[in-house]
Amino acid sequence: MTSRPPRTVFRNAHLFDSATATMRPNATVVVEGEVIADVLFDATPVDDARIVDVAGRALLPGLIDAHVHVTSTIPDFLKLSMTPATLIAAQAKDILEAMLERGFTTVRDAAGADHGLVEAVERGHFRGPRLFIAGQAISQTGGHGDTRPLAVKTLFCSCAGLGLLGTIADGVGEVRRAAREQIRSGAHQIKVMAGGGVSSPTDPIDGTQYSLEELRAICEEAEAANTYVMAHAYSPRSITRAVQSGVRTIEHGNLLDEASAREMVRHGATLVPTLATYDSLAREGAKLGWSEAMMTKLDRVKLQGVESLRIAKSVGVPIGFGTDLLGSMHDDQSNEFSLRLPALGAAEILQSATRVNARLLGQEGRLGVIARGAIADLIVVDGDPTTDVTLLQRQGARMPVVMKAGRFVRNRL
């Protein structure tokens, strides 16, 4: 006798089809072990299974956030770089768990998380979304990853003074070594700082970072390891230079214009906007003691955020879903859904957080979709999130079921 893995059947579900961004009624979804074994649209009885009657509620693929920093446990990078890694890991545990409670079953870490955290989640020490990590972000001297105050001349710790978040590399040789080092230590993708940032003290937001040769070298190393590069970039110039060098995803991209959007389409790049962080920082930044220069940069990118979504949509740039939150602001993760409403429809926003993000992770057909053979990451939502996206907010309170890889994170049905 062969033993079959345990089966769970979700009946009478209103299924979100992430390929068409539509809801389909009367769905039955059969989960066997870690995968979806079948999706049926008639009332075929399935025996020998645990039955969950969804009672007409919405059934969605587990959500994906393509830009998080689970080890940014406090919003002060200098202090963070002097915090023991063990304490950061303990704090990251809480951040990961809360993400899962909000329905995020997969996240892409945009710098900070290491292979230890990936394993802690895989082995079940920590409850959290599966992680796709970038390791340390690669930054030029004085770039967005260089968080040293002006008076500090030296790199003041063995990890280049940046803790877990970043590494400084200048010149083609150094950036190649830095990229190879990330890949060697388990990075799934490479992160590069290709332009100015809000939270770094000395770089102009519309400046560019790295020479084309350096950017190209980093992309070559990623391609050699069968992966890709994600680039932090705001300005049209930094976006254009990045995608022309082979970068596949543009992070933030708030100052995108039509010409740079067309360049993204030409090179098959995806935009990963992160509106949630500007919204949170506008409320919290002054309390954090951010300088006037940093708050001015923040105002500028916040205003342009929604506009960049409108431009990307009109030109046809694929739009992913990211949040980029720090410290206790992680609670605002699901605000990203409603912050996009001025530019995008609710169903499109859900598609960003499922299908588009799965594709940028190279996980099309496995994640972000309810289909035969996909990993059984599922959430049940009380109501229809394609008409009211705020149902995904409030820390998952309107999500009676969260399932990751065939296992219930919770089941209140």
Task: Name the segment binding Zn ion (CB under 5 A); options: 7-15, 104-112, 131-139, 141-149.
Answer: 104-112
Nearer to Zn ion, 65 or 324 (CB): 324
Cα 337 to Cα 283: distance, rounded to the nearest angstrom: 18
Stretch that binds Zn ion, among 129-137, 173-181, 317-325, 386-394 (CB under 5 A): 317-325
**Smallest gap, in angstroms, from Cβ of residue 67 to Zn ion?**
6
From the CB of 16, what's the least distance to Zn ion, in Å? 27
In whole angstroms, the minimum distance from the beta carbon of 324 to Zn ion comes to 4
Is residue 324 a contact residue for Zn ion (CB under 5 A)?
yes
Choice between 144 and 241, CB closer to Zn ion: 144
Residue (110 or 379) nearer to Zn ion, CB: 110
Q: How many residues bind Zn ion (CB under 5 A)?
A: 2
Which window, 116-124, 323-331, 335-343, 386-394, contacts Zn ion (CB under 5 A)? 323-331
> Shortest gap between Cβ of 144 and Zn ion (angstroms)?
9
Query: Of 31, 110, 164, 317, which one interacts with Zn ion (CB under 5 A)?
Result: 110
Query: Which of residues 9 and 134 has its CB atom nearest to Zn ion in the complex?
Result: 134
Closer residue to Zn ion in complex, CB, 100/110? 110
Q: Measured from the CB of residue 325, what is the shortest distance to Zn ion in angstroms?
A: 9
Binding region for Zn ion (CB under 5 A) out of 25-33, 79-87, 310-318, 324-332: 324-332
Q: 331 vs 96, 114, 270, 395, 396, CA distance in Å?
A: 11, 22, 26, 7, 11
Residue 114 or residue 324: which is nearer to Zn ion going by CB?
324
226-255: which residues touch Zn ion (CB under 5 A)?
Answer: none
Distance CA 383, CA 397 (A): 12
CB nearer to Zn ion: pick between 60 and 110: 110
Give the residue with the Cβ less far from Zn ion, 14 or 69: 69
In this complex, which beta carbon is closest to Zn ion, that of residue 139 or of residue 260?
139
Region near Zn ion per CB under 5 A, out of 34-42, 78-86, 109-117, 257-265: 109-117
For 124, left (φ over 0), alpha (ψ -120 to 50), or beta?
left
Q: Report, in Å, the least distance between residue 110 CB and Zn ion.
A: 4
Q: Which is nearer to Zn ion, 334 or 386 (CB)?
A: 334
Q: Which is nearer to Zn ion, 110 or 409 (CB)?
A: 110
For Zn ion, which stretch binds (CB under 5 A), given 96-104, 107-115, 207-215, 349-357?
A: 107-115
Residue 330 Cβ vs Zn ion, minimum distance, rounded to whole Å: 13
The span from the first CA to the last CA of the chain, in angstroms, equals 32
Q: Find the part of the chain contacting Zn ion (CB under 5 A) among 36-44, 121-129, 320-328, 356-364.
A: 320-328
CB of 188 to Zn ion, least distance (A): 16
- How many residues are given for the chain? 413
Which one of the spans 106-114, 128-136, 186-194, 265-273 is the region binding Zn ion (CB under 5 A)? Answer: 106-114
**CB–CB of 121/131 below 8 Å?**
yes
- Contact characters 335-374, Zn ion, x per CB under 5 A: ----------------------------------------
3-state secondary structure the chain: CCCCCCEEEEEEEEEEECCCCEEEEEEEEEEECCEEEEEECCCCCCCCCEEEECCCCEEEECEEEEEECCCCCCCCHHHHHCCCHHHHHHHHHHHHHHHHHCCEEEEEECCCCCHHHHHHHHCCCCCCCEEEECCCEEECCCCCCCCCCCCCCCCCCCCCCCCCCEEECCHHHHHHHHHHHHHHCCCCCEEEECECCCCCCCCCCCCECCCHHHHHHHHHHHHHCCCCEEEEECCHHHHHHHHHHCCCEEEECCCCCHHHHHHHHHCCCEEECCHHHHHHHHHHCCCCCCCHHHHHHHHHHHHHHHHHHHHHHHHCCCECCCCCCCHHHHHHCCHHHHHCCCCCCHHHHHHHHHHHHHHHCCCECCECCCCCCCECCEEEECCCCCCCHHHHCHHHCCCCEEEECCEEEEECC
CB of residue 194 vs Zn ion: minimum separation in angstroms?
13
Supply the minimum distance, in Å, between the C-beta of residue 69 and Zn ion.
Answer: 6
Pairing of strands 104-109, 137-139: unpaired
Q: Are 263 and 317 in contact (CB under 8 A)?
A: no
Interaction site with Zn ion (CB under 5 A): 110, 324
